[in-house]
Structure 1
Amino acid sequence: MSDPAQQTFDAALAAIPEPLRGQVSAQWQELAPHITALPPGPWLETLPRVFAASEFVARGCVQQPALLNELVISGHLFDPYPAGDLTRRVAKFLGDAADEPALKTRLRQLRRREMLRIAWRDLAGWADLDETLTTLSEFADACVDGALARLYAWTVEKSGEPKGEQSGRPQRLVVLALGKLGGQELNFSSDIDLMFAYPEEGETPGAPPLSNHEFFIRLGQALINALNENTADGFVFRVDMRLRPNGASGPLALSFGAMEHYYQTHGREWERYAFIKARVIAGDREAGAELLKTLKPFVYRKYLDYGTIESIRGMKAMIERETTRKGMQGNIKLGRGGIREIEFIAQTQQLIRGGREPQLQERRLLTVLPRLAAAGCMDAGTAEELTQAYIFLRNVEHRLQMAADQQTQQLPTDEMAQTRLAFASGFADVKGLANELERQREKVHRHFAQLFRTEDDAAGEREPDRLAAVWQGTADAESARQILRDSGYAQPEETLSLINALREGPMVSAYSTGARARIDRVVPLVLQAAGRSDDPQTTLQRLVHLLEAVGRRTVYFSLMAENPQVLTQLVRLGSASPWIASWIAQHPILLDELLNPALYELPTPEALQDELRQRLAHIPEEDLELQMEVLREFRHGHVLRVAATDIGPGLAPEQTGAALAAVAESMVTAALELAARDLERKHGAPRCPGRETPPGFAVIGYGKLGSHELGYGSDLDMIFLYEGCDEGMTHGARALPNEAFFARLGQRLIHILTTRTPGGILYEVDMRLRPSGKSGPLVTSLAAFRDYQRDHAWTWEHQALVRARPVAGSPVLARQFAEVREEILRRPRDPARLKTEVREMRDKMAAEKVRHDDTQADVKHDPGGIVDIEFMVQYWVLRWAHDHPGLTRHTENIQLLEALKAEGLLEPARAELLTQAWRRYLSVEHRLKLMERGSLADPAELGDWPGKVREVWEEVFD
């Protein structure tokens, strides 16, 4: 080796710790005579660092200098492989292997070269973690697929080609990778977790025939042997098949049907966990993709699966016992704050929510962490801390394994090995690495402990065992009553009867052991939490109703037991409002909302629309069923947030109505988009001859939706308009006239809004305000609507138009509707005739309203109530809008009163009186709903406002 090369080496050698220099220098002296043709360069500048960090790389270069020569001369050492290049290289190298011994030799030659290259690039700092993981995984994929292709061909030559019994088609093996390889996160010296399957039973055509089952077991055994056997050339990958159905005792390969049956019947929680990362890596990839699609419901449940936390806590506890027993606390994978805890945090959230949020069905951990943050499953700071910890720990893991190509995650205790690891990890000394390891692992374990609270962690937050004894009936009657008194219950007999009825009822009696354990855990917590409320007995009754409503979905008991915040919020809201308690009981998925730190914050309408679009964006377009469920969950959750904010921090009544209207508007907008997309796939989009822009469709909100004054149980008053044109047709293969398309669009929209699914309905819809009412067409062209309003509409229909506004659909059509509305509202009218018609309509409504309880007040329909104010406002707008166009700019009653005052048409004192009365009435309406008190109020709640409003009415309509 030339003097410049030696000088380069010596300069680089000086940068490594002194204890490591001697061995590196000796290895260099042994290698140097065999690589004299290589000019000095980056390879030599990094060689001392790489050799100091990896005895494996040093030994490989010394034993086979030609490897280093070839890697440097080819340039492969210095640059990442282009996408797919490594796979092509492996396939070509294995493609002409003559027999199994030759295949094994070539596989091991490939491993020696590629692992040396991967380690060098990693230790030299030329590859980041993503490149290292991806390259290792691609290499393993290529080896498995390339070996399988040769072995399958040889097995077919010997035994014949297996055929499907039903289809008659040739059958091929499907190789699934799980674990790190499945997630494309393979570490340097990892096992590869594989599973073998084939589509159909059947047999080969040979004599004698071989069953497909036996054929694929033999093929699988040959594949494992090709990869796993430790020959004179070493091994390729250690193959672990224990994750297959029934583990080591199960068949090596199963048909798709047998696999589906196993997971439907016997699948366990840890197997769901393992399948998060399942990926087809070899064989019949198309069939494998269908198998994974079939098994997806086993992995990702349609509901929020909080029982996962218990199961994974159990898995973690088992691992901790094993690491303690074997003295493995220094294991950076399995020990406290290790890699496995990060995986458990992410994958638990995936199992809980992945069935409902497809974007979380992601194999790679570093990809899913930010998605979990975006979905609100963890805050962005937590996701970033876990990301950085994972990168750090995986890099340390690789330095451990690259040192001697050993499968280890155990931190060394030998001083030289510690020095090597610290240096390889970029630290000046052993203490620096130890401090950073401790810092990162403590962060991980803190986040882990917050999610997986152990029994000891939770003990301080639980009621003593006394309440558990009351629930389980092991305390005698007098002791039970005293325990309940001490816990806040003033009527312990009633409380005890309620508890006993729940415990002895058919629901709890039918529980499995696991479900019974869940309710046994949660009921004492419910008793404790309700006992601290202002009205323990009433609150407990509401919570017991909720527990009964949850019924067999006992995973929600786990959610309540695992998260004190859920019970705290449940008691707070349930004690304040029976409607909220019932709302959650009807939709148990809302328990998840109680974990939301933004529960008492209302998003803007724009944020609502954006959030909903993001939720729907990850759902396949053809899956309308899931889209409809997401709409319902979204609506239920945001209505709960409005109610919680209304009861908690408090909202002005008009803010409540506006917030509920914003939720409804977001639902209608999204439902319209889904309906239009579905129809356009079948029929194409509508078109008008001679026009580039397509005709529009719009949803017009009337009543409380139009005036931003929606109540908690309000229907949606709507009409549908479309932009008509002569001879308009859709442009799809199954073309329709535009009118037919828009009629179907309206029907489809109503279907999405009103169909009862497991999540309930979105809204009841009232279309009676459309032109000609029930007898009129469901959808109306804008021109026909204009003509109807000009020539045929009754005065009461013009009154309704005061509160009408576009809520979804074409912006162009919305503007055109606004022009028609303004035209109609600004028509000059005979004041006397208008007054008579408005008064007569009000009298007709009053006559039709039957009173059943004269001791109660009907906030809406009684004289001086809501309808009187609405009719007066509408009368004033219709009377004066001709000369005062500002009156047509609003649809909300309070805004209209302000406009009337600003235009000088309404005395300030009168406007203020009606505004205050309106606010009181809206507030009472909202409270009646939240307290489940029907539509009638105690007259005292309304004060003297009805009398004052009626005085104004008499003055206006005398």
Structure 2
Amino acid sequence: MTLASKLTRRPIPFEPEAAGAVKDRFASLPGDLQELVISTAAGSPYLRGLMLNEADWLEGAFEAPEAAVEAEISGLSAVPLAQLGSAQRRAKRRVALMAALADLGGAWPLMQVTGALSDLADAAVDTALRALVAAEVKRGKLPEHAGPTAGIVVLAMGKMGAGELNYSSDIDLISLFDESQYDADEFGEVRAACVRVTRRMAALIGEKTGEGYVFRTDLRLRPDPSVTPVCVAMEAAERYYESIGRTWERAAHIKARPCGGDLEAGAAYLDRLRPFVWRRHLDFAAIEDAHAMRQAIRDHKGLYGATLEGFDMKLGRGGIREIEFFTQTRQIIAGGRDESLRVRPTMLGLDRLAAKNWVTQETADLLKDHYIAHRTVEHRLQMVNDAQTHALPKTPEGFDRIARLSGQGDTEAFRREISERLEAVAGLAEGFFAPRPAGEQAQPAPEHDLDEHPIVERWTTYPALRSDRAVAIFERLKPDLLSRLAAAPRPEEALGAFDGFLRGLPAGVQLFSLFQANPELLGLIVDIAATAPTLAKYLSRNASVLDGVIAGDFFADWPGPEALQEALNKQVATAPDYEAKLDAARRWTKEWHFRVGVHLLRGIVGGVEAGRQYADLADVVLGALLPVATQEVSRRHGPPPGKGAAILGMGALGAGRMSATSDLDLIVIYDACGETESAGARPLATRAYYARLTQTLITALSAPMSQGRLYEVDMRLRPSGRQGPVAVSLESFETYQRGDAWLWEHRALTRARCVTGPAELTQAIGAVRESVLSRPRKPAELAQDAADMRARLGAAGTAGKGVLQAKLGPGMLQDIELFAQSCALAAGRPISVTAQQLAAGAQSGWITAQEAEDLTETHGLLARLQACTRLLGGESEAETGPGRALILRETGAADMSALLAQMSQLAAQADRIISHALTQQGAKAP
């Protein structure tokens, strides 16, 4: 399309008399296009000169502006070194001219304008570098095998990296060379040649000649520029960033992009640098660093001016840099966890942040609108005389010129719009960056004053407060924190629990910064401390789980096992090695485990639903780690013989009702299909192979690593218990269950289910289970065995258990579940849910329907109680600690005395029902 067909606006002539020569030269242009060039010439001496110098080219370029710009850029690759400087300057004049006219005429949006200038910069860097490398090779200063780039890559930083160059931008570059492409004895000579190439490249592009310049270049963003050469070995750069890289350097690398030379080596380098730029955890300490950088820039440049005259649109309060800092800091905070936030352009970054709820869509749209407006004003300032400026004019005449070039005939309205936009941006930025004054977030004055409490006075001795920076941030938090603690139902207990949390923190800056940026998170911590001290202590050792709270969907509905499996599989798959996969699984699981606990604590879910969610998590972890363990064993010993292995979940896992502290009862079953050994480089006999796989899985689940452990594993329910092999073949499992298993093992089998494994194998295991559980049983034998089991459990007693323990004793959880399993066996039905088993007991005549309902009600109450006590850290903690409110809410009791009385009454009733049923069934003739 022609430029004329896309015009939507034009400047207002500022000096009409100055445009006479342009008017004469372009008299043959169509009306709208002619008015654009004349009004532009009447406002910009620089563009007026370009139009006259490049008139012949411009007339043809108007017919297809995008193609004309692309031809200028791509044509540089064929120019020899002797003519390259001149060709690049000609291309710069033409691309800048067309971009300016397309911008002023509204034909190109901002990103197309800045993109054209950035594409030109890329081509200038790449063509200069390749031509200079070829010259060094020809002179014998680089070895023949150096190739066309000599392993040099130039990284575009800042606006160039993001494709956002303005008209008079300098270009920020980092030049590196890949020393691994050379032998050690070549290093010195190669480095010297790479430095020469980089210096000459910068000169070729940046020197101002009679034909102008291409781009001013700045190489000072490289590591430690005061002592390093202009071209740095990649390994040295990596060591620098890994050891002493600073937050501003991380922020700079958000926009880093290979733009010239060995692009593949550059991409690999940035990939290796990813852990430096993108931290694994949410990095709220970056807010403090960014605020300090903003303040330093303002103080150094004197950017607190109260008027618009001379105001810096880039660095001033509410200016372009504020929007970039706002966006990049949030990207730094969350980009380590969310790869979708790792984008270079500012406006795209705002869109991604809004999509992930780090900012509202309204805020993102406002900032994008202000960014476009600010950048447009910046461009108009630079168009006048091709000056590297961001400062608004200091004279009324200067403001009139910029207003007219912007198409605004009312200069005061133009000034008002700029001021309003600057204030709007400043308000958004200050709300994010500026540290809150002490006490600003404080709650209404509480009844209790904790400020001089002895516990508070010793906080300064804790590891988390050993640095001045941590103390400074914490002091800003302290009034709000103490106010919240004092407002808790039991302030002393809440303070003591928070003290346990603070005392256990190994460091504080990162977490305190997170609290400062998210006051609602501090409220959650106080809530946890006031309700569940054990959970607060867990947090002090695993503070990274708080990342999940502010990731946007922490309080959303449970996503379900399929979505969870997909998420964990992705985390594991992207980890680079075996141990990293295990650590990734631990981090992910801890966040979700914590979420379930908080949801139960806050009443978002009840105890029964929390139990199902804990079981979902265990299912997902096993589903992710069995393939990881299999891959690890296969690496050494070949793929699994036969159909592979499956995991049969037993106990609470099998029943789909776990607690915060449940371990995993597992049986590993395999089907070798007659194969006697694996087919790897170091083959193992089939039984040994699956034993190795099982041990690898147990280690993956239970070994303490940098991220802790996942679960304790119990495999005593496998055939023959501790004496049996850790993995059992399908054939052996079936033989044992049909002929050798004890009756109590069949009871346990009622709660079993296949959690993960090959579909064909899990179906076969399920068929064995159904067949075993469906066979006829003698009621008297079942009843007698259950009675004997009750007697043995009763003899073991409940000594040392708190009065709130819900599991042991007549009529308690274990007793009801044992009886329910007997009911399921008597009915010959392979069902695992306790309520369904009791209903089956009623259908087969063991108990009445009312008794089944009574037992189910008692079981539900005790299950909810157990879910709470396990979350709170045990029965004794629940009895005396601040978690009583949670227990009363979950059980519906008025107070603890009423709950204990209700438990006693219901347990006695359940005991009577079970005892009577077993006596009745035991008396039946065999």
1:487 equivalent in alignment to 2:418: no
Write out aligned runs for 1:811-822 (5 A).
811-822=759-770
1:668 equivalent in alignment to 2:648: no
| Structure 2 unaligned regions, length at least 5 | 880-899, 920-926
Q: What is the distance in 1 between the residues matched to 2:611 and 2:539?
A: 20
Secondary structure at 1:838 match in 2: helix
| Structure 1 unaligned regions, length at least 5 | 465-482, 689-694, 882-886
Call closer, same or farther: CA 1:640–1:172 in 2, change over 3 Å.
Answer: closer
Call closer, same or farther: CA 1:484–1:45 in 2, change over 3 Å.
Answer: closer
Q: Which residue of the other structure, out of 812, 824, 827, is the alignment partner of 1:865?
A: 812
Q: CA deviation at 1:76?
A: 4.8
Q: Which residue of the other structure, out of 870, 894, 903, is the alignment partner of 1:929?
A: 870
Judge conservation of contact 1:196–1:253 (CA < 8 Å) in 2. yes
Write out aligned runs for 1:482-881 (5 A).
487-488=449-450, 495-496=453-454, 498-504=455-461, 507=463, 511-523=466-478, 525-595=480-550, 598-606=553-561, 608-609=563-564, 612-613=567-568, 616=571, 620=574, 622-649=576-603, 651-675=605-629, 695=643, 698-722=646-670, 724-726=672-674, 746-847=694-795, 849=796, 851-853=798-800, 856=803, 858-881=805-828
Superposition CA RMSD, Å: 4.4
1:3-51 deviations in whole A, cap 9, x for unaligned? xx9xx99x99997566459369635423237xx6xx8699668656766
Corresponding residue for residue 478 of structure 1: none
1:97 equivalent in alignment to 2:81: yes
Corresponding residue for residue 241 of structure 1: 219
Judge conservation of contact 2:750–2:821 (CA < 8 Å) in 1. yes
1:865-912 deviations in whole A, cap 9, x for unaligned? 11110011111111013xxxxx54x52223444565578864332123
Secondary structure at 2:707 match in 1: coil
Call closer, same or farther: CA 1:76–1:485 in 2, change over 3 Å.
Answer: closer
Corresponding residue for residue 910 of structure 2: 949
Q: CA deviation at 1:233?
A: 0.6
Corresponding residue for residue 224 of structure 1: 202
Judge conservation of contact 2:677–2:684 (CA < 8 Å) in 1. yes
1:316 equivalent in alignment to 2:257: no
Judge conservation of contact 1:669–1:807 (CA < 8 Å) in 2. yes
1:195 equivalent in alignment to 2:156: no
Secondary structure at 2:176 match in 1: strand
Q: Percent identity?
A: 31
Call closer, same or farther: CA 1:791–1:866 in 2, change over 3 Å.
Answer: same
Corresponding residue for residue 186 of structure 1: 165
Q: Which residue of the other structure, out of 112, 115, 120, is the alignment partner of 1:131?
A: 112
> What letter corresponds to residue 916 of structure 1 in structure 2?
E
Judge conservation of contact 1:174–1:196 (CA < 8 Å) in 2. yes
1:914-943 deviations in whole A, cap 9, x for unaligned? 122112212222232233235798765733
1:69-119 deviations in whole A, cap 9, x for unaligned? 45346x4546884xxx776432113xx233xxx332222112112222333
Q: What is the distance in 2 between the residues matched to 1:450 and 1:764?
A: 45
> What letter corresponds to residue 52 of structure 2 in structure 1?
V
Q: Which residue of the other structure, out of 848, 851, 857, is the alignment partner of 1:916?
A: 857
Call closer, same or farther: CA 1:16–1:390 in 2, change over 3 Å.
Answer: closer
Secondary structure at 1:127 match in 2: coil
1:892 equivalent in alignment to 2:833: yes
1:568-595 deviations in whole A, cap 9, x for unaligned? 1111111111122122112011233444
1:30 equivalent in alignment to 2:30: no
1:402-434 deviations in whole A, cap 9, x for unaligned? 455333444557677767766776878667766
Q: What is the distance in 2 between the residues matched to 1:319 and 1:44?
A: 43
> What letter corresponds to residue 109 of structure 1 in structure 2?
R
Corresponding residue for residue 468 of structure 1: none
Q: CA deviation at 1:713?
A: 0.3
Judge conservation of contact 1:721–1:779 (CA < 8 Å) in 2. yes
Call closer, same or farther: CA 1:701–1:29 in 2, change over 3 Å.
Answer: same
Secondary structure at 1:762 match in 2: coil
Q: What is the distance in 2 between the residues matched to 1:198 and 1:281?
A: 14
| More off after superposition, 596-605 vs 727-736 | 727-736
Judge conservation of contact 1:336–1:441 (CA < 8 Å) in 2. yes
Judge conservation of contact 2:12–2:405 (CA < 8 Å) in 1. no
Call closer, same or farther: CA 1:705–1:172 in 2, change over 3 Å.
Answer: closer
Q: What is the distance in 1 between the residues matched to 2:389 and 2:306?
A: 14
Q: What is the distance in 2 between the residues matched to 1:879 and 1:515?
A: 64
Q: Which residue of the other structure, out of 115, 125, 135, is the alignment partner of 1:144?
A: 125
Corresponding residue for residue 314 of structure 2: 333
Q: What is the distance in 1 between the residues matched to 2:688 and 2:409?
A: 76
Write out aligned runs for 1:56-205 (5 A).
56-72=46-62, 75-77=64-66, 81=70, 88-93=74-79, 96-98=80-82, 102-158=83-139, 160-161=141-142, 172-200=151-179
TM-score by length of 1: 0.82
Corresponding residue for residue 477 of structure 1: none
Q: What is the distance in 1 between the residues matched to 2:734 and 2:407?
A: 76
Q: What is the distance in 1 between the residues matched to 2:275 and 2:913?
A: 63
| More off after superposition, 446-455 vs 307-316 | 446-455
Judge conservation of contact 1:577–1:931 (CA < 8 Å) in 2. yes
1:461 equivalent in alignment to 2:418: no
Q: What is the distance in 2 between the residues matched to 1:369 and 1:525?
A: 31
Secondary structure at 1:151 match in 2: helix
Q: What is the distance in 2 between the residues matched to 1:724 and 1:572?
A: 53
Q: What is the distance in 2 between the residues matched to 1:607 and 1:273?
A: 36
Q: CA deviation at 1:790?
A: 2.6
Q: CA deviation at 1:550?
A: 1.7
Judge conservation of contact 1:197–1:254 (CA < 8 Å) in 2. yes
1:484-520 deviations in whole A, cap 9, x for unaligned? 996158xx6xx31x33444346x378x3433443444
Call closer, same or farther: CA 1:268–1:805 in 2, change over 3 Å.
Answer: same
Q: CA deviation at 1:953?
A: 1.7
Judge conservation of contact 1:12–1:49 (CA < 8 Å) in 2. no
Greater RCO (CA < 8 Å, at least 6 residues apart): 2
Q: CA deviation at 1:772?
A: 3.5
> What letter corresponds to residue 661 of structure 1 in structure 2?
A
> What letter corresponds to residue 461 of structure 1 in structure 2?
Q
Judge conservation of contact 1:196–1:254 (CA < 8 Å) in 2. yes
Call closer, same or farther: CA 1:558–1:937 in 2, change over 3 Å.
Answer: closer
Judge conservation of contact 1:657–1:711 (CA < 8 Å) in 2. yes
Call closer, same or farther: CA 1:716–1:195 in 2, change over 3 Å.
Answer: same
Call closer, same or farther: CA 1:673–1:323 in 2, change over 3 Å.
Answer: farther
Q: What is the distance in 2 between the residues matched to 1:336 and 1:311?
A: 17
Q: What is the distance in 2 between the residues matched to 1:611 and 1:366?
A: 30
Secondary structure at 1:633 match in 2: helix
Corresponding residue for residue 471 of structure 1: none
Secondary structure at 1:699 match in 2: strand
1:546-568 deviations in whole A, cap 9, x for unaligned? 22222235321222234322221
| More off after superposition, 806-815 vs 761-770 | 806-815
Call closer, same or farther: CA 1:799–1:399 in 2, change over 3 Å.
Answer: farther
Aligned residues: 894
> What letter corresponds to residue 204 of structure 2 in structure 1?
A
Call closer, same or farther: CA 1:639–1:450 in 2, change over 3 Å.
Answer: farther
Call closer, same or farther: CA 1:149–1:721 in 2, change over 3 Å.
Answer: same
Q: CA deviation at 1:374?
A: 5.1
Corresponding residue for residue 298 of structure 1: 276
> What letter corresponds to residue 820 of structure 1 in structure 2?
V
